Every structure is written in C-alpha cells, then in structure tokens.
Amino acid sequence: MEAALEAHGFGKRYRRRAWALRAVDLAVPSGSITALVGPNGSGKSTLIRSWIGFERPTEGSLLTGGVDPRRDRKGAVARVGYVPQSASLYSGLTIADHIAMAVTLREGFDPILAAGYVERLSIPLSAAAGELSGGEQAQVGLALALGTRAGILLLDEPLASLDPLARREFLHVLVEAVRAEGHTALLSSHVITDIEQACDRLVVLGKGHTLLDLSIAEALAHHRVVEGSGGAALAADRVVVGSFPSAGGERLTLVRVRAAEAVTADGRAGERPATLEEVVIGHMAAGRIRRPVAPAEEAA
C-alpha cells in the first residue's frame, strides 16, 4: 500500500520547551480519508503543518507525496491542498478575488473547479469574505484547496467552529471530491460523528506519538468496552487501553483485543463492542500525559 504522507521518527520541539511530538512513525495510505485525533496539545496541528513545510522537524523525517518538505518545501506545497482551522480569508476581497489570487500564486490552479464548489453551496462569488459566516468561509477555504488539484489534502480542524449543518455540507463536498479525484485526505477533528461520516482510517496521537493507526473497521474490531476501571480480571488476549466516564457517569474501560474478532451483539461476558467514540476517547484518556517520551525511553 503506497503512502501519501509518511513520518519516520518525527519529533518537534519548540525552542527549549517540552517536545510537542516525538518518535512519531506514521503512514497515511494513498486514496484514504484519514482522521487525525488527539487531545488538545497532542501535536496534530504541528504534524500537519510540518507536512506542508510550515514547521521544521527537530528530529526524524517526513515525506509529503514522496518529497521531504524540509529539503523541498516548494515540492511539498505543490503536492498539498491545505485548509487551516481558521479559513483566514482576506476580509476585503470577494470570493472571486480569492480565486483570482490563487491563480496568480499557483500554476495549474483550476478556477472553474474552485468556483464550481463555491457556487454549489450558493455562496455568491461577488460576496466579500468578511460578510460570510464561519461555515461559508470554511467552504471557500476547502474550495481553494480543491482548486489546487493537489493529490493530498491536509485539513487542520476546519470543522471546529462550524454548526452541524455546515459541518455536514463541508464533509459532503470533501468526501465527494476526494472519491471523485482519488485524492488522499488527512482530517484533524475532535468530532467523532464527522469521522464516522467521512473517514475510513483513524490515527490517534497522544503521549507525543502515535497511539493508534488503523482503519475504522479494524479499530472497531479490535476494541471492546467493559464496565468499571478495568481492575477485574481480563482474558489473556485483552489489554486495557484507558478508562473514561460514560455519558451517564459510570466508569468504562476500553480494552484492546489482540486479534481482531468479528463484532457480535453480545460479545464475551461483561464486554460489549466499542463505538468509534469510545475507541477514540479511550485512547485519548490513555494519551493524557504531559511530557511526550520516546518509546525506548518509555520502555525503560
């Protein structure tokens, strides 16, 4: 399976502060829509920004479409369409101006494609960006990224401040475009329903490195939930991942199944299949540790 985005022993440290990420090994397969999830401050944005060359790795290496962004940032940017958390449009420019600007900045930018995505959502091209809602601005940001016709889309929590309808519309456009063009997308998000709706792969970051990297189907097949904090005896093929409170307040524990099992309605006694939300929360609970450490350091 060819990887569109790769991280090999990647680490990032800001000045002399603690490591934001350390010893991250990751491969995002071509043609996938991968969700990147993790607690606040787990380094999701740092990783995404590093793949587009906005951050320099402190250690390790990255590949963006086969190009090392540290050595060839131009090449990396040319392979990527990027949507940041805040669309950061020019408030005084119209949407048509933004598309015209993209044409002046990037060879091969497709203004008709970008305008098409914008108009499909009934956003007038003559509207000033400052007059648009947050959801509309995010859509324009996505349209600009799609207009680049880049094979890789990096989306850094673009849905964070959007209402449910705006999120749904954004994801609809994203999934349709990615499937139609055969793009690879990496979507950083906290909203599990978005991930279920759009993504086929899940990466959880925590402790400064990768805690989980599986397809959504594998993630569901490999995890179960038990009531309590996991202190009770577990079968030998179960490993406790993390404990967290349910919506009702009782303590739940996510356990990992060593070999994937078909999810059955009843499962083993005391267990039930985990939802995707529980898989994510269980790993995030496990990853809630301040100082990222390298795996070798952790083992010691």
Partner 1 sequence: MLAATRLTYRINRFEVWSITVMTVLSVIVSTAVVAWLAQSGYANCRGDEFGNMDAHCLSLAAIGDWVIRIDRASLSLVLLFPFIAGLLLGAPLVAREIDRGTARLAWSLSPSRLRWYVHRVTPILVVLGVAALAIGVVADRLTGALMPAEDLANSFVGFHGRGVLIATGALLVGSTAVALGAVLGRPMQTILLALVLGGLLQVAVSEVDRKVFLQNETVVDATGNYSDSNIYLDSRFVLPDGSLATWDELIAYDPSILTAEMGPTYPNVSLIIPGSRYRSVEAREALAELAIAAVMLVAGGVIVMRRRPG
Residues forming contacts to partner 1 in the complex (CB under 8 A) are: 49, 52, 54-55, 73-75, 77-78, 80-82, 84, 86-90, 92-93, 97, 100-106, 109, 141, 144-145, 148
CB of 165 to partner 1, least distance (A): 24
CB of 171 to partner 1, least distance (A): 20
Could you tell me how many helices (H) and strands (E) the chain has, helices first? 10, 13
> Which residues sit opposite 156 in a β-bridge?
188
User: Which of 44, 223 has the CB closer to partner 1?
Assistant: 44
CB of 25 to partner 1, least distance (A): 24
CA distances (Å), origin 50, targets 9, 12, 17, 87, 161: 13, 9, 18, 18, 23
User: Which of 40, 104 has the CB closer to partner 1?
Assistant: 104
User: Which of 94, 243 has the CB closer to partner 1?
Assistant: 94
CB-CB contact of 93 with 128 (8 Å): yes
CB of 142 to partner 1, least distance (A): 12
The two three-digit tokens of residue 193, written as one number: 């329903």
User: Which of 129, 252 has the CB closer to partner 1?
Assistant: 129
CB of 88 to partner 1, least distance (A): 3
User: Which of 155, 202 has the CB closer to partner 1?
Assistant: 155
Beta strands in the chain (DSSP E): 3-13, 19-29, 33-37, 59-64, 80-83, 152-156, 184-188, 201-206, 209-215, 223-227, 238-245, 251-257, 271-273
Task: Tell me how long the chain is.
Answer: 300
Determine the 3-state secondary structure of 97 from DSSP. Answer: helix
Residues sharing a CB contact under 8 Å with residue 47, sequence separation 6 or more, in sequence order:
7, 10, 12, 21, 24, 26, 36, 205
CB of 220 to partner 1, least distance (A): 34
User: Which of 105, 296 has the CB closer to partner 1?
Assistant: 105
The two three-digit tokens of residue 91, written as one number: 């408030």
